[in-house]
Structure 1
Amino acid sequence: MPLPCPACGTVSIRQHSRYRRRLADTALGERRMEIFLSVRRLTCVNETCDKKTFAEQVEALAHIP
Protein backbone atom coordinates (compact mmCIF):
# COMPACT_ATOMS: atom_id res chain seq x y z
CA MET A 1 0.00 0.00 0.00
CA PRO A 2 1.64 3.28 -1.08
CA LEU A 3 1.99 6.06 1.48
CA PRO A 4 2.92 9.74 1.12
CA CYS A 5 6.04 11.02 2.86
CA PRO A 6 4.91 13.36 5.69
CA ALA A 7 7.67 15.85 4.81
CA CYS A 8 7.38 16.22 1.03
CA GLY A 9 4.22 14.31 0.03
CA THR A 10 5.99 12.02 -2.45
CA VAL A 11 4.21 8.65 -2.56
CA SER A 12 6.41 5.66 -1.75
CA ILE A 13 5.97 1.88 -1.80
CA ARG A 14 9.62 1.22 -0.96
CA GLN A 15 9.67 -0.58 2.38
CA HIS A 16 12.75 0.01 4.53
CA SER A 17 11.84 -2.25 7.46
CA ARG A 18 9.13 -3.29 9.93
CA TYR A 19 8.95 -2.99 13.68
CA ARG A 20 6.52 -3.76 16.45
CA ARG A 21 4.78 -1.07 18.46
CA ARG A 22 3.21 -1.78 21.83
CA LEU A 23 -0.04 0.14 21.92
CA ALA A 24 -0.89 -0.06 25.61
CA ASP A 25 -1.23 -2.25 28.64
CA THR A 26 -4.84 -2.75 29.46
CA ALA A 27 -7.02 -5.07 31.47
CA LEU A 28 -9.69 -7.31 30.03
CA GLY A 29 -11.72 -8.47 32.99
CA GLU A 30 -9.08 -9.63 35.44
CA ARG A 31 -6.51 -10.52 32.79
CA ARG A 32 -3.72 -8.22 31.73
CA MET A 33 -3.51 -7.72 27.97
CA GLU A 34 -0.81 -6.24 25.73
CA ILE A 35 -1.56 -5.18 22.16
CA PHE A 36 1.23 -5.17 19.58
CA LEU A 37 1.05 -3.64 16.12
CA SER A 38 3.41 -4.31 13.23
CA VAL A 39 4.31 -1.00 11.52
CA ARG A 40 6.13 -0.45 8.24
CA ARG A 41 8.98 2.01 7.88
CA LEU A 42 9.22 3.29 4.30
CA THR A 43 11.96 5.05 2.35
CA CYS A 44 11.18 8.42 0.77
CA VAL A 45 12.08 8.16 -2.92
CA ASN A 46 12.48 11.93 -3.34
CA GLU A 47 16.25 12.45 -3.27
CA THR A 48 15.89 16.11 -2.25
CA CYS A 49 13.73 15.31 0.81
CA ASP A 50 15.41 15.62 4.22
CA LYS A 51 13.30 12.78 5.64
CA LYS A 52 14.98 9.60 4.44
CA THR A 53 12.58 7.16 6.16
CA PHE A 54 9.15 7.47 7.77
CA ALA A 55 6.76 5.19 9.66
CA GLU A 56 3.19 4.51 8.63
CA GLN A 57 0.55 5.94 10.94
CA VAL A 58 -2.58 4.02 11.90
CA GLU A 59 -5.14 6.80 12.30
CA ALA A 60 -7.84 4.55 13.77
CA LEU A 61 -5.50 3.73 16.67
CA ALA A 62 -4.07 7.20 17.22
CA HIS A 63 -4.51 8.76 20.64
CA ILE A 64 -7.21 11.44 20.66
CA PRO A 65 -6.80 13.89 23.58
Structure 2
Amino acid sequence: MIHLRDVVDLESTNFDKEMQLDFYDHKKKLHVILHLPQWWIKYIAKELWGVIRAEEYELDKLKDSLRLEP
Protein backbone atom coordinates (compact mmCIF):
# COMPACT_ATOMS: atom_id res chain seq x y z
CA MET A 1 0.00 0.00 0.00
CA ILE A 2 1.27 3.46 -0.84
CA HIS A 3 0.50 6.35 1.51
CA LEU A 4 0.46 9.92 0.27
CA ARG A 5 2.64 11.04 3.16
CA ASP A 6 5.35 8.62 1.94
CA VAL A 7 5.26 9.80 -1.66
CA VAL A 8 8.41 11.69 -2.52
CA ASP A 9 7.57 12.61 -6.10
CA LEU A 10 4.23 13.00 -7.83
CA GLU A 11 3.97 13.85 -11.49
CA SER A 12 0.87 14.35 -13.57
CA THR A 13 0.49 14.43 -17.31
CA ASN A 14 -2.61 15.53 -19.19
CA PHE A 15 -3.62 13.54 -22.22
CA ASP A 16 -6.75 13.82 -24.30
CA LYS A 17 -9.47 13.16 -21.68
CA GLU A 18 -7.07 11.15 -19.54
CA MET A 19 -4.77 11.97 -16.65
CA GLN A 20 -1.66 10.01 -15.82
CA LEU A 21 -0.42 10.19 -12.23
CA ASP A 22 3.03 8.85 -11.37
CA PHE A 23 3.67 8.17 -7.67
CA TYR A 24 7.20 7.43 -6.48
CA ASP A 25 8.13 6.12 -3.04
CA HIS A 26 11.92 5.94 -3.11
CA LYS A 27 12.20 4.31 0.32
CA LYS A 28 10.24 1.28 -0.84
CA LYS A 29 11.46 1.58 -4.43
CA LEU A 30 7.85 1.72 -5.49
CA HIS A 31 6.55 3.33 -8.65
CA VAL A 32 2.82 3.40 -9.35
CA ILE A 33 1.28 4.80 -12.52
CA LEU A 34 -2.44 5.52 -12.65
CA HIS A 35 -4.29 6.29 -15.86
CA LEU A 36 -7.57 7.98 -14.98
CA PRO A 37 -10.29 9.78 -16.87
CA GLN A 38 -10.05 13.52 -16.27
CA TRP A 39 -13.48 13.64 -14.62
CA TRP A 40 -12.05 11.55 -11.74
CA ILE A 41 -9.77 14.42 -10.76
CA LYS A 42 -12.53 16.26 -8.88
CA TYR A 43 -13.16 13.14 -6.76
CA ILE A 44 -9.46 12.66 -6.05
CA ALA A 45 -9.11 16.35 -5.13
CA LYS A 46 -12.10 16.10 -2.77
CA GLU A 47 -10.54 13.10 -1.00
CA LEU A 48 -7.14 14.80 -0.77
CA TRP A 49 -8.71 17.90 0.79
CA GLY A 50 -10.34 15.61 3.33
CA VAL A 51 -6.92 14.18 4.21
CA ILE A 52 -5.43 17.67 4.51
CA ARG A 53 -8.29 18.85 6.76
CA ALA A 54 -7.87 15.81 9.00
CA GLU A 55 -4.13 16.49 9.30
CA GLU A 56 -4.80 20.16 10.10
CA TYR A 57 -7.26 19.10 12.81
CA GLU A 58 -4.67 16.78 14.37
CA LEU A 59 -2.04 19.54 14.26
CA ASP A 60 -4.43 21.98 15.93
CA LYS A 61 -5.12 19.46 18.70
CA LEU A 62 -1.38 18.98 19.19
CA LYS A 63 -0.77 22.75 19.30
CA ASP A 64 -3.55 23.17 21.86
CA SER A 65 -2.11 20.44 24.06
CA LEU A 66 1.35 22.07 23.96
CA ARG A 67 0.16 25.55 24.94
CA LEU A 68 1.24 26.59 28.39
CA GLU A 69 -1.30 27.87 30.87
CA PRO A 70 -0.51 31.48 31.99
Q: Same fold (TM over 0.5)?
A: no
Give the alignment's TM-score, normalised by structure 1.
0.31
Q: Which has the higher contact order (CA 8 A, sep 6+)?
A: 1
More strand as a share of residues: 1
More helix as a share of residues: 2
Give the alignment's TM-score, normalised by structure 2.
0.30
Which structure's CA Rg is the greater one? 2
